[in-house]
Amino acid sequence: MHGLKLSNGTDFNRRRQTRQVHDQFYQYNPRENLPHAVDWRSRGYVTSVKDQGECASCYAFATAAALETYYKRKTGMLIDLSPQNIIDCTWSLGNNGCSGGFITKVFEYVAMNGITTESKYPYASIARHQCGCKKENAVVITRGYYRILPGDELALKSAVAKFGPVVVGISGYQNGFKFYKSGVYADPECKTPNHAVLVVGYGTDPRYGDYWIIKNSWGARWGTNGYGYMARNRGNACHIATMASFPI
């Protein structure tokens, strides 16, 4: 199931209700010294791996996970936020429930309406056409989001190091990715981005080279306890920096 929708880059500011949403490109500053390796899991900023089940809701899980880290950085508290809130409540922004959605539209929704916790709005693995969350129940409201210039892996590295995990769209429905278990993944057959995951860090392996650490939403049995390692600095492998954004 392809849960990530592609944007043509022109619709980010189309809907603006009563609150101005911050939406800008994030750029890497060549003067900044970035750490050689980052892993937000080891800092206690990442919640447990989730399983989206049969609902094509990767866009909701990846963005909720990014917002969890955002909230931790702001408050010092790590909580599970509600992907179901996103699935049920972003139809008007162009998302399609269990048939996929736009990463940036989720961040736009959260800037305008906020998002509640998993305990208050638990995951059902179905899409409801009626939003069950009121704004007064929101625990996280952001100013908006940054986007990475398409293909700019240095900007992605900088954002992960300085701000935290970043939501990315990857080409993730090749068999090699579906059945990935370990190692640094790079597939020359990667095509259009169709799956959203969360980059939670990066590093370098002496054997496999530079990598990104990704958190998937296919349960802990996928990859290495639900996480994977994808090639970094190999020409934007599997489009990992093509559709990247994070909340602010």
Q: What's the pLDDT score for residue 6?
A: 63
- In tens digits, what is the pLDDT along the chain, a chain of 248 residues? 557 876 644 343 444 444 678 889 999 999 999 999 999 999 999 999 999 999 999 999 999 999 999 999 999 999 999 999 999 999 999 999 999 999 999 999 999 999 999 999 999 999 999 999 988 899 999 999 999 999 999 999 999 999 999 999 999 889 999 999 999 999 988 989 999 999 999 999 999 999 999 999 999 999 999 999 999 999 999 999 999 999 99
- In this prediction the pTM is 0.93
Q: Where do the structural domains in the chain lie, given as residue ranges?
A: 23-247
DSSP string, 145-208: EEEEPTT-HHHHHHHHHHT--EEEEE---SHHHHT--SSEE--TT--S--EEEEEEEEEEETTT
Distance linking the first and last C-alpha atoms of the chain: 29
* Tokens read off for 34: 């970035």
Q: What's the pLDDT score for residue 135?
A: 87
Q: What's the pLDDT score for residue 1?
A: 54
CATH number of 23-247: 3.90.70.10
Q: What's the pLDDT score for residue 7?
A: 62
In the residue annotation, 216 being an active-site residue is answered as yes
Q: How far apart are CA 67 and CA 40, in angstroms?
A: 13
In the residue annotation, 129 being an active-site residue is answered as no
DSSP string, 25-63: EE---TT----S-EETTTTT------B-TTSB-HHHHHH
Indicate which residue of 58, 89, 98, 190 is catalytic: 58
Indicate which residue of 113, 194, 195, 239 is catalytic: 195
In the residue annotation, 195 being an active-site residue is answered as yes
Q: What's the pLDDT score for residue 8?
A: 42
Asked if 44 and 140 touch (Cβ cutoff 8 Å), the reply is: no
Indicate which residue of 190, 216, 238, 239 is catalytic: 216
Asked if 101 and 3 touch (Cβ cutoff 8 Å), the reply is: yes
Angle between helix 103-113 and helix 58-75 axes, rounded to 10 deg: 50
